[in-house]
A and B are shown apart, each in its own frame.
Chain A
Amino acid sequence: MVEKAGNEPTGKRTTSERRSEREMVITRTFDAPARLVFQAWTTPGLFKQWWVPKSSGATLLSCEQDVRVGGSYRLEFAHPQGGAPMAFFGRYLEVVRDARLVWTNEESADGAVTTVTFEDQGGQTLLVMRELYPSKEALDIAIEGMDEAMPETFEQLDDFLLAMAAGAPGR
């Protein structure tokens, strides 16, 4: 049983870095082949199970992914505070099965272009995600906005992980 009280186990740590004025880079290693990580990223039924942070309180209302070059995606969320659903959408610019995805984020005029690479390392996968913003200001605003949208506490995450660890496979 893995202890998840704030510290992630070594080797599974998510790192993030502001690589340049307009680029964020996130890395993470998964204990599964790239084929499965890619599948979990590109299959709506699976994607829904992990994309929405429990601590955000948001729920994913719908998720459409037409994963091919030029295909579009659309995610709609309901926020616990109510109001109109929030939509995130864009197009896939590059799709290389089990290896690489590039998509646009078109819900705002200053959205990033996101590139994710899945590198198979003998049964494990090194995932590198880059978000390239059109300008430094666009990235500053995105980071600031996200900060406001995220609650400070992550207690819900612990509950979630405990519940998931307790079973319920094939949810």
Chain B
Amino acid sequence: MAQYSQSRFDASFGALSDPTRRGVLEQLMRADASISDLAERFHMTLTGMSKHIGVLEQAQLVATQKVGRVRTCSLGSRRLEEEAAWLENYRRLWAERFDALDTVLEDLKRKEKRDGRKSGQ
């Protein structure tokens, strides 16, 4: 297991060490794209881009699907897991704030009950 994740880590690390591949990931965060689209955008040959995509695919950072003659690339499961983790942290930040807000609201309710609600409020 440890070895598996180590190799997965190495694969990700290797995949992300190249600026073109990082650019491809950024591009795919915006929208799916075919290999020829990506080749054109990054001024490369189809073969060159296919190699980069192969590396990203191995690291599960990119997934590809062939429809007819066109191979379309999208973000892989790995990338989506990371995005899910970000969203969870975001939710936790707010959950933490709102739990603290509950305490403030309990205080306010207690005070109102004690003092009686002021008219005009």
Contact = CB atoms under 8 A, between A and B. Distances in A.
Partners in one complex: yes
Interface of A: 4, 8, 12-16, 18, 24, 26, 28, 30-32, 35-37, 39-40, 46, 49-51, 53-55, 127, 129, 136-137, 140, 143-144, 146-147, 150, 154, 157, 160-161, 164-165, 169-171
A170 B112 CA distance: 12
A131 B106 CA distance: 27
Contacts of B86: 143-144, 146-147
B91 A36 contact: no
Contacts of A165: 103
B96 A54 contact: yes
B89 interface: yes
Contacts of B103: 49-50, 161, 164-165
Secondary structure of the B side of the interface? helix
Given A24-B90, A146-B93, A161-B99, A32 B107 contact: no
B41 interface: no
Given A50-B103, A50-B104, A161-B100, 15 more contacts: A4-B99, A8-B99, A16-B90, A28-B94, A32-B105, A32-B108, A40-B101, A40-B104, A140-B29, A147-B86, A147-B89, A150-B92, A154-B96, A160-B100, A165-B103
Contacts, number: 101
A53 B90 contact: no
A136 B27 CA distance: 12
B109 A32 contact: yes
Interface residues of B, number: 31
A30 B101 contact: yes
Given A15-B91, A40-B104, A53 B109 contact: no
Contacts of B30: 136-137
Secondary structure of the A side of the interface? mixed
A50 B97 contact: yes
B52 to A, nearest CB: 21
B95 interface: yes
Contacts of A8: 95, 99
